[in-house]
Amino acid sequence: MPSRRARERQALNNSNNSTKRHKRVVPFNESLIEKPKTLPPPCPGSAHPCKDKMCYKAQTRQYKCSMPGVRPASASEPVPLIFSLELMQRQRVFRNENPFETSKFGRFEAQLPRTSNLSRVLREGLCASGDGQSECDTCAVVGASGSLLARRHGALIDAHEVVLRPNWLLTKGYETVVGTRTDLNVFFGVEGMVDQFLQARRKLPASLRPIGLITPASDKSVASIMRHMGRERERNRSSTDIFLLSDSVYHRALGSLCAATQQGCDWPRGNSKMRPSTGFFTVVVALQLCRKVIRALFAALPNQACGPPTRPCY
């Protein structure tokens, strides 16, 4: 007999196939994407026009950095943090690495949060309520550095109003080092991470359950949150445990990468794809959400590579 999860996925697929049979598929309207008004000059040392693959890759990064809305995380004006019904109704395009029309979220209206104000979906009592985005006082962003072993900042981390952790970090057995609390867990949206987060969340008391935030850059992340909302829709429930970060957060994270790499010219990797890491997204969220942010170490010590969830760096 198929498992419960297999039956749920089959039901979702049947629902999607039925929708496709009765609805005409409308191709994406490329004219909805706002293009850069001016293109940046070529990177120093690059031929113009380009004659090799590395030059083309640099141009791709430059073009991405010049897109409207791409600004560093330090920019003063706040941005919406989570994608919501409010945003779906206000903007026509979700502008990540592969932009698409927000109408794709239309069947999940009941599952989307009403507002993009992240502090309003946090556990009651964590942050003061208000109309602005920056409503929490202090936040701690905790990574997976082996350097944390020498500091034992667990109590200091737990004393912050909000604790954010990127990816899947083990805290059991390391409470004196990294603390016990996780209020926001930011991760890349693949099915394994979503299932792992939900299973761990169910084992915690309601007062300690974190909120999951899926990074918005890739198609895989968007597809995973849609599958999650589809399962919630089959149960006639709204999604209150996992949310998708907004494309504005992606632009802020990307803008910080662009500012640090001379608009993509000083890029250390052969890959042209400028995708902010999960840790990078976590810091950007904290800077938008909180007035004061501390970042517990991310980089591992020499010969201390990060391991799987059963063997973290610390």
- Which pLDDT score is estimated for 272? 64
pTM: 0.80
Mean pLDDT of 203-207: 87
Q: d(Cα 243, Cα 111) in Å, to the nearest integer?
A: 10
Any residues with CB less than 8 A from the CB of 208 and at least 6 apart, and which?
181
pLDDT by residue (tens digit) across 20-55? 444 444 455 666 667 776 777 778 776 666 767 777
DSSP tag of 31: G
Amino acid identity of residue 203, one-letter, is: K
Any residues with CB less than 8 A from the CB of 222 and at least 6 apart, and which?
94, 96, 100, 189, 216, 244
Would you call the peptide bond into 80 cis, given omega within 30 degrees of 0 as the criterion?
Answer: no
Q: d(Cα 311, Cα 314) in Å, to the nearest integer?
A: 8
pLDDT by residue (tens digit) across 163-179? 999 987 678 888 888 88
Q: d(Cα 73, Cα 281) in Å, to the nearest integer?
A: 10
- Which pLDDT score is estimated for 66? 86
Degrees, nearest 5: CA angle 229-108-70:
90
CA distances from 22 to 9, 15, 19, 102, 230 (A): 20, 11, 5, 20, 18
Helix residue spans in the chain (DSSP H): 4-22, 53-65, 85-90, 154-158, 175-178, 191-202, 219-234, 247-260, 278-289
pLDDT by residue (tens digit) across 244-266? 999 999 999 999 989 888 888 88
Dihedrals phi, psi of 131, to nearest 5 degrees: -95, -15
One CATH from 3.90.1480.20, 2.60.40.730, 3.40.50.300, 3.40.50.720 for 70-124+132-296? 3.90.1480.20
Are 314 and 175 in contact, with CB atoms under 8 Å apart? no
- Which pLDDT score is estimated for 213? 95
